Chains A and B, each alone.
Chain A
Amino acid sequence: MIWETVRLSLLSVRRNVLRSFLTLLGIVIGVAAVIAMLTIGSGTTEKVKADISKLGSNLLVVRPGRPAGPGGPGGLDQATRPLGSKELAALVTHLSGARAISPASQKQVRVIFGTESLTSGVTGTDSAYLDARDWKLVSGRPFSDSEIRSGTGVCLIGETVRLQFFGAGDPEGEIIRVNRTSCRIIGLLEPKGYTGFGQDQDNVVLMPLAAYQRRIAGNRDIDSIYVAADDRTPTTELLPRVEDILRDTRRITPDRENDFSIRDMTQIADAMASATTTMTGMLGAVAGVSLLVGGIGIMNIMLVSVTERTREIGIRLAIGAHENHILIQFLVEATVLSLLGGIIGILIGLALAGLASLTLAIPFAPSPAVILLAVGFSALIGMVFGFFPALRGARLDPIDALRHE
């Protein structure tokens, strides 16, 4: 009986191909929009999470200056005291639960090799930096302790720098000029690609902190200290310990606020991810409105269909169809119609999302749950919006219906 009805409704869809298609269009567009939005959205969320984890997982970043607000950038006011080797030493000596503690001072500097030049992010740091940031070397070696101590002119370069100066060639042992001082390349960093904010993470040059301070910055300041938590210590637990040590080292009395900020990259990652999720949800909801419009289209066409087939309904009622038979027939027809639209919409939506993931370089992340939801929702729309027309058909008086021309 149900199968019969489904077959019947497919037949009626096929009889009015153009009309069925136009009716479906609303549902197709609605479902396609929802699927595309949610798929692209979850891809973006994944991308953001991956980007931020590239900054280092379980990482705290200490910077001088009062924190501007929760999660916000630390503002540098005039009274800011820079961080120095004193703070670094205190953390290295007293902090427990850290896997790596590393200083980093950074500046955009012109780097020259031969006749080529490139403006690159030059960072002065130590050998713990690679560990703290989860960066790896493709070739060469990290800084030695003596190079760190004496501030030798050696450096590690990122992939972008290598491509600019050496193409596919081996850069090791070559001498590049960084801000008028020369620097011997001892290793190549693993490529990391762009961040979600369009920043090239491979356009970097690392050198010993002492060398950076002496030859580039011209002071003994440390811009930031990276503290990576070990596997057993959550960053939320590590953060207050870092804070205590730094307040102590910097002799901040209990009545005064911190003159430094500690950023928890894990929390930022979570916040960013939840922000994109919220955004995705909102876009999905907007797309959902078009589904509603599609549903009204279905209702409209079903009313037309019921009116057109009044005589048929009369015949069916006369030969013994129950009200429910007619109701189910038109309900199934509306559901089949909108389900068809839903399936086409899902395919188009996934295609759009696939295209977007190719052009925007975000992962293609179709969610079976979302697809299932779209199928269910489009069927539901058919049932809800098909109900009133179907009921109207079922309630027809067989005598009037048979007389209908």
Chain B
Amino acid sequence: MSGSLLITFDKVWKSYGQGEATVHALAGVDLAIRHGEFVAIMGPSGSGKSTAMNIIGCLDTPTAGTYSFMGIDAGRLDRNRRAMLRNLYVGFVFQGYNLLPRTTAVENVELPLIYRGVAARERHDLAMKALAEVGLVGREHHTPAELSGGQQQRVAIARAIVTRPTLLVADEPTGNLDTARTHEIMELLTRLNTELGLTIAMVTHEADVAGYAERTIRFLDGHVASDAMNLEVV
């Protein structure tokens, strides 16, 4: 499964505003990510890395150029088709966890399955399994407020992988965590990458976090400044 192209950017532009005030968040980016890769995306703020991530996650579409996801011209799909694509193939992990408040861990994990139309019993079983996979047994019925930051992020990861996605999009997944917790979460992501063959695209601004990935893409001023394999895993 590893090796074939999952994501390609072909001269992707993303522009905001009009006329003189036009800002190009992405200015003709070419990029390719293969199945099974673990890619870190870095760059200062305003470099275009977040815009690129939004397009990769099928949340946003390019102004010009072609974004293809699994060979589908995802940049030309309407909102609902992209929602379907996300539901079927993409899992999201955010810096701020983005769990539904006052909703238990298992209910949070069940959420993407609800939109897939999975029956309640099966949904529950799958969610419990995903929570076990991220090492969160015994906390299934706690609400986010009753969980630590690391535990919340594990719930978020469980929610992302419960649908067995092809791609995991992680936006600063350790941004709110201390060093020990960061290490744990990164270990978990690495394990998911190797064991499940999950392709991971992760935005980070910390070099040691990026070090867990196999490859680092650096953005600067809407361009890819560098794109290199990480030779030594930290």
Interface residues of A, Cβ cutoff 8 Å to B: 1, 4, 11, 15, 311-312, 314-325, 398-399, 402
Query: Is B92 a contact partner of A319 (Cβ separation < 8 A)?
Result: yes
Given contact pairs A312-B101, A320-B87, A398-B59, enumerate 12 new A-B contacts (beta carbons under 8 Å).
A1-B117, A315-B100, A319-B92, A319-B111, A319-B159, A320-B112, A321-B83, A321-B115, A322-B83, A322-B115, A324-B80, A399-B59
Known contacts: A316-B111, A318-B86. The answer to whether A323 contacts B60 by CB under 8 A is no
The prevalent SS among residues of B at the interface is: mixed
What are 7 of the A-B contact pairs (CB < 8 Å)? A314-B98, A315-B100, A320-B84, A320-B115, A322-B80, A322-B84, A323-B80
User: Does B114 sit within 8 A of A, measured CB to CB?
Assistant: yes
Report how far A322 CA is from B101 CA in the complex, Å.
Answer: 21
Query: Is B59 a contact partner of A319 (Cβ separation < 8 A)?
Result: no
Query: Is A15 a contact partner of B102 (Cβ separation < 8 A)?
Result: yes
User: Does B191 sit within 8 A of A, measured CB to CB?
Assistant: no
User: Does B116 sit within 8 A of A, measured CB to CB?
Assistant: yes
User: Does B79 sit within 8 A of A, measured CB to CB?
Assistant: yes
Q: How far in angstroms is the closest Cβ of chain A from B55? A: 10
Query: Is B92 a contact partner of A318 (Cβ separation < 8 A)?
Result: yes
Interface residues of B in 119-156 (CB under 8 A from A): 120
Known contacts: A319-B86, A322-B80, A402-B94. The answer to whether A1 contacts B114 by CB under 8 A is yes
Q: How far in angstroms is the closest Cβ of chain A from B61? A: 11
Q: How far in angstroms is the closest Cβ of chain A from B72? A: 15
Measured between beta carbons, the chain A residues less than 8 angstroms from B83 are: 317, 320-323
Measured between beta carbons, the chain A residues less than 8 angstroms from B88 are: 320
Report how far A140 CA is from B57 CA in the complex, Å.
Answer: 98
Query: Is A325 a contact partner of B102 (Cβ separation < 8 A)?
Result: no
Chain B residues within 8 Å of chain A by Cβ, number: 29
Known contacts: A15-B102, A312-B100, A402-B94. The answer to whether A318 contacts B59 by CB under 8 A is yes
Q: Which listed residue (B101, B102, B115, B117) contacts A319, Cβ 8 A?
A: B115
Q: How far in angstroms is the closest Cβ of chain A from B84? A: 7
Interface residues of B, Cβ cutoff 8 Å to A: 54, 57, 59-60, 79-80, 83-84, 86-88, 90-92, 94, 98-102, 111-112, 114-117, 120, 159, 163
Q: Which residue of B lies closest to A325 (CB)?
A: B115
Report how far A398 CA is from B88 CA in the complex, Å.
Answer: 17
Report how far A141 CA is from B219 CA in the complex, Å.
Answer: 113
Q: How far in angstroms is the closest Cβ of chain A from B232? A: 34
Measured between beta carbons, the chain B residues less than 8 angstroms from A398 are: 59
Measured between beta carbons, the chain B residues less than 8 angstroms from A11 are: 102
Q: Closest 9 interchain pairs by CB?
A: A320-B87, A319-B112, A320-B86, A320-B115, A315-B98, A321-B115, A322-B80, A318-B92, A398-B59
Q: How many cross-chain pairs have Cβ atoms below 8 Å apart between A and B?
A: 58
Q: Which residue of A lies closest to B123 (CB)?
A: A4
Report how far A299 CA is from B112 CA in the complex, Å.
Answer: 28
Report how far A402 CA is from B86 CA in the complex, Å.
Answer: 15
Measured between beta carbons, the chain B residues less than 8 angstroms from A315 are: 98-100, 111
Query: Is A4 a contact partner of B114 (Cβ separation < 8 A)?
Result: yes
Q: Which residue of A lies closest to B92 (CB)?
A: A318
Measured between beta carbons, the chain B residues less than 8 angstroms from A322 are: 80, 83-84, 115
Report how far A24 CA is from B68 CA in the complex, Å.
Answer: 49
Report how far A398 CA is from B61 CA in the complex, Å.
Answer: 12
Report how far A368 CA is from B116 CA in the complex, Å.
Answer: 40
Q: Which residue of A lies closest to B97 (CB)?
A: A315
Which one of B60, B83, B87, B91 has the highest number of Cβ atoms from chain A below 10 Å of its Cβ?
B83
Which one of A318, A324, A399 has the highest number of Cβ atoms from chain B below 10 Å of its Cβ?
A318
Q: Which residue of A lies closest to B100 (CB)?
A: A312
Q: Which residue of A lies closest to B111 (CB)?
A: A319
Query: Is A402 a contact partner of B98 (Cβ separation < 8 A)?
Result: yes
Q: How far in angstroms is the closest Cβ of chain A from B81? A: 10
Q: Which residue of A lies closest to B86 (CB)?
A: A320
Q: How far in angstroms is the closest Cβ of chain A from B101? A: 8
Report how far A186 CA is from B158 CA in the complex, Å.
Answer: 96
Measured between beta carbons, the chain A residues less than 8 angstroms from B120 are: 4
Q: How far in angstroms is the closest Cβ of chain B from A151? A: 90
Report how far A315 CA is from B99 CA in the complex, Å.
Answer: 8
Report how far A400 CA is from B92 CA in the complex, Å.
Answer: 15
Q: Which listed residue (B60, B87, B163) contacts A399, Cβ 8 A?
A: B60
Measured between beta carbons, the chain A residues less than 8 angstroms from B91 are: 319
Measured between beta carbons, the chain A residues less than 8 angstroms from B115 are: 316, 319-322, 325
Q: How far in angstroms is the closest Cβ of chain B from A179? A: 84
Report how far A315 CA is from B111 CA in the complex, Å.
Answer: 10
Q: Which residue of A lies closest to B60 (CB)?
A: A399
Q: Which residue of B lies closest to A314 (CB)?
A: B98
Q: How far in angstroms is the closest Cβ of chain B from A316? A: 7
Measured between beta carbons, the chain B residues less than 8 angstroms from A325 are: 115
Q: Which residue of A lies closest to B88 (CB)?
A: A320
Query: Is B116 a contact partner of A320 (Cβ separation < 8 A)?
Result: yes
Q: Which residue of A lies closest to B159 (CB)?
A: A319
Q: Which residue of A lies closest to B84 (CB)?
A: A320
Which one of A311, A312, A325, A398 has the highest number of Cβ atoms from chain B below 10 Å of its Cβ?
A398
Report how far A399 CA is from B52 CA in the complex, Å.
Answer: 12
